[in-house]
């Protein structure tokens, strides 16, 4: 028996191994990952770790002993370079071929590079790995002014850290609001207002033309000819799925490694999970989605582990996500994008706000800012397939919890 081999020791790969054992799988499990050390969680990298509130040991998903206790063979620092599907072997960069009965691709995603002159200068950073975080944290300690390219989650979380540590920060965004692809216009406005109050400066509708050197980053040059002074630049313009290994093995790639509703590829011996996989979601009316979140990685891994231990089921877990940005806790339940109606519950000036997003007359998702109770209720509503009317959602007197509990 060759057992189950997992490529990627991030959130999804780790969870797959842990869930296989929880489900009673007794065969060999090998986790192959190209990052050194124990599997760790990325969310604190742009929050608690960046603020010095936790150290590297606090990021580990489990201590060393867990892997031995659960007979999970961790091959950290090893890169998989090819899949021989006919022979069911995974080839590593070392030349070794690891045989498998089932292969799970949990290869995640990597940062999209900024395609402008000067993007490789010292002082220009990205944030994905612990090594990236260490370099960024060291640079922040000596920075006089920071520019963040991209008003996405990572960019806003880092901007909040800059504001909290008193370093002037400018966020440069090509679109007309923060998180334009991720949240409703109403939620974006609340988030922007809070960051501005904390001292973050935003430049919207601004294209970056280059990073001004010559020896290290000194400013960000914009397409309109102006320059934003910065000795530290964080580029946060999204990710691309790590799907090349799958593509080279002849597996279908469609905005990520394409899998079916059970997260299986067209090869019955290969599954894919996490940031790198795209799957048809019942929460998007069956459309193919690729979701970058801890919940998606963890629940996808559980779904595959359950199938591999004899109880096949479709991946139907309600997607949810969080982002901590200084005093803001944003939580999203469901898939809000696209939506054709968004109604407000609560008041951003008084304790928080939620946006209930509707698609085709049904609740598609809920964005909550500092309203964690709404978030929990939203997850229940979506799991149960119950949709309050927009009037009910907006009415503070309407008991959403009672509706959720049925």
Selected range binding ligand FAD among 102-110, 201-209, 262-270, 279-287, rule: CB under 6 A? 102-110
**Looking at beta carbons only, is 91 or 252 nearer to ligand FAD?**
91
Task: Please select the residue that binds ligand FAD; options are 19, 30, 46, 184, rule is CB under 6 A.
Answer: 46
The verdict on 345 binding ligand FAD (CB under 6 A) reads no
Q: Report 364-383 residues binding ligand FAD (CB under 6 A).
A: none
| Whether the Cβ atoms of residue 366 and residue 336 lie closer than 8 Å to each other | yes
Q: Which burial class, exposed, middle or buried, applies to 133 when counting CB atoms under 10 A from its CB (0-12, 13-18, 19+)?
A: buried
**Looking at beta carbons only, is 3 or 8 nearer to ligand FAD?**
8
Rounded CA-CA distance 309/296 in Å is: 20
Binding characters for ligand FAD, 294-323, by CB under 6 A (x = yes): xx-x-----------------------xxx
Rounded CA-CA distance 255/289 in Å is: 8
How near is the Cβ of 229 to ligand FAD at its closest, in Å?
25
Q: 94 by DSSP, 3-state: which?
A: coil
Spatial CB neighbours of 3, under 8 Å, sequence gap ≥ 6: 27, 28, 29, 30, 100, 101, 102
| Torsion angle (degrees, nearest 10) of CA 242, 245, 247, 252 | -70
Spatial CB neighbours of 347, under 8 Å, sequence gap ≥ 6: 353
**Looking at beta carbons only, is 163 or 393 nearer to ligand FAD?**
163
| Whether the Cβ atoms of residue 222 and residue 91 lie closer than 8 Å to each other | no
Selected range binding ligand FAD among 2-10, 257-265, 281-289, 309-317, rule: CB under 6 A? 2-10
Q: Report 112-131 residues binding ligand FAD (CB under 6 A).
A: 127-128
Task: Please select the residue that binds ligand FAD; options are 173, 192, 292, 367, rule is CB under 6 A.
Answer: 292
Question: Applying CB under 6 A, which residues contact ligand FAD?
Answer: 7-13, 32-35, 42-43, 45-46, 79-80, 106-109, 127-128, 154, 242, 245, 274-276, 292-295, 297, 321-323
């Amino acid at each position: 028996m060759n057992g189950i081999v997992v490529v990627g020791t991030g959130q999804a790969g780790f969870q797959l191994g842990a869930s296989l054992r929880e489900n009673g799988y007794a065969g060999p499990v090998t986790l192959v990952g190209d990052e050194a050390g124990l599997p760790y969680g990325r969310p604190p990298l742009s929050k608690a770790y960046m603020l010095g509130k936790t150290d590297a040991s606090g990021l580990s998903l489990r201590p060393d002993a867990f892997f031995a206790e659960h007979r999970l063979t961790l091959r950290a620092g090893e890169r998989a370079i090819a899949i021989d599907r006919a022979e069911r072997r995974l080839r590593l960069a070392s030349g070794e071929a690891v045989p498998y009965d089932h292969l799970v691709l949990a290869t995640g995603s990597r940062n999209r590079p900024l395609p402008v002159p000067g993007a490789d200068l010292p002082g220009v950073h990205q944030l994905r790995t612990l090594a990236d975080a260490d370099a960024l944290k060291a640079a922040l300690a000596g920075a006089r002014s920071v520019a963040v390219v991209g008003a996405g989650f990572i960019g806003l979380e880092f901007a909040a850290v800059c504001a909290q540590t008193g370093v002037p920060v400018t966020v440069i965004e090509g679109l007309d609001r923060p998180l334009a692809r991720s949240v409703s216009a109403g939620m974006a406005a609340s988030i922007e207002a809070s960051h501005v109050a904390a001292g973050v400066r935003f430049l919207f509708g601004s294209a970056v033309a280059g990073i001004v050197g010559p020896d290290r980053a000194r400013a960000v040059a914009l397409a309109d000819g102006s320059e934003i002074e910065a000795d530290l630049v964080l580029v946060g313009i999204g990710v691309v799925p790590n799907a090349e290994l799958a593509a080279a093995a002849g597996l279908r790639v469609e905005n990520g490694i394409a899998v079916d509703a059970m997260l299986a590829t067209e090869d019955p011996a290969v599954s894919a999970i996490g940031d790198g996989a795209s799957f048809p979601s019942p929460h998007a009316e069956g459309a193919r989605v690729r979701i970058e979140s801890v919940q998606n990685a963890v629940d996808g891994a559980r779904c595959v582990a359950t199938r591999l231990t004899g109880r096949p089921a479709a991946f139907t877990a309600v997607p949810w996500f969080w982002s901590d940005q200084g005093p803001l806790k944003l939580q999203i339940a469901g898939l809000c994008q696209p939506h054709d109606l968004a109604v407000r519950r609560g008041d951003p000036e008084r304790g928080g706000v939620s946006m209930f997003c509707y698609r085709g007359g049904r609740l598609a998702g809920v964005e909550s800012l500092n309203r964690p109770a709404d978030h929990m209720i939203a997850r229940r509503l979506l799991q149960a397939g119950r949709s309050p009317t927009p009037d009910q959602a907006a009415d503070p007197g309407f008991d959403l919890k009672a509706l959720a509990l049925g």
